[in-house]
Every structure is written in C-alpha cells, then in structure tokens.
Amino acid sequence: MSFGQVQRRIQNWLDRFFPEYSHVFKDWEGKASLITLSEFPKYELFSRQLEEIMAQVETLLAQIPGTNEMLTVPGIGVVTLAGFLAEVGDRSGYDHGQQIIRLAGLNLKENSSGQKKGKSTITKRGRSRLRALLFRAVMPMVSKNAEFKALHHYFTQRSHNPLKKKRSIVALCGKLPLERQNEGM
C-alpha cells in the first residue's frame, strides 16, 4: 500500500466517522491534529506498522544487487522500485526490455479490419498492476528526471504526429524498463 493510499484511507475514516473533523482541524496531518489522532490506537498502530514494513522493504532491497544504483535515478523511490521488482521478479530472466513491456501489456496493437486502418493502442494484455506502477512511476520522472522531461516535451511538441500528454506518459512507460535494463537492472 502506498503512502498516498494510506493518507486517503485515513481521510476516508475521518470523513466517515468524524465528519466534523475537517471543521476543527484545517490539516489532519498538522501538529494538533496528530496529537488528537494519537489518542486513537488505530492511527498509531497503522503508522507503526507502516514504518516497520518500510524498514523491511528497505532491508530487502539492500540485498538485491543493483537497487542502490536504481534508487539514484531521480523520480525512482523505494516503493516504486519494490513494486516493480515484485511484479517483474528476477530480472536476469529477461533478455530484453521489450519482454517487460509485453509483461505489462504496454506493447502496441493496431485496431484494423479489412480496408479500414484504425489507431494503434496498447494491448493491456499483461499485468495491470505493473502497468499502473510504471505509469505512476513515470509521472514524477517527467518532472524530476531531465531525460524523461526532454522526451516528454519532444513527444508532445514534435511537428509530425505529436502525442497528447497521457499518450506521451504511456510511451515513456515503455522507456522506463528499457532504461533500467540497459543500466544493469
């Protein structure tokens, strides 16, 4: 479970069980709000469990060769890398990054029949969690990583066949596993 999901879950609990909470506290993560929430064992237990799990994830990642190098890439975090490795498994089983793209269902297919030629779309035949993880991983990389930012700008601003922003992000998802594979991933 990602940190954002945890935040949304807590916000959902507050909205459901304490609808007046947002009127009393402007930000539920503020100092006074956290002191109030610490009186409720659910929040404290959940926070402690999250910290323990993240420590275990970091310990496991430290045992996998090449993860320290991957974490130096701007935009790649511990949760993203752990999720990627959990979905992909042992990277030595892949000869080429295109195999990871196919595993995620990001390879292109042409929608055509008879004389009509349709648009190319991704197949979505693959692991939806890996596809979603790659999409969520590319989003911050477009803002933090110079290479991905330049590629995104090129894809959306090129004179021949410019892509919409979301299609550009999907195209960059295909670049992410290839780049990692080439760098010893």
User: At residue 4, does pLDDT exceed 70?
Assistant: yes
| The pLDDT of residue 45 | 80
Q: Which stretch, 40-44, 55-59, 93-97, 165-169, has highest mean pLDDT?
A: 55-59
| The pLDDT of residue 63 | 93
| The pLDDT of residue 162 | 92
Give the pLDDT mean for 22-28.
87
pLDDT bin (cut points 50, 70, 90) of residue 177 is low
pLDDT in tens, 96-113: 888 988 999 888 887 877
| DSSP bridge partners of 110 | 120
Specify the pTM: 0.70
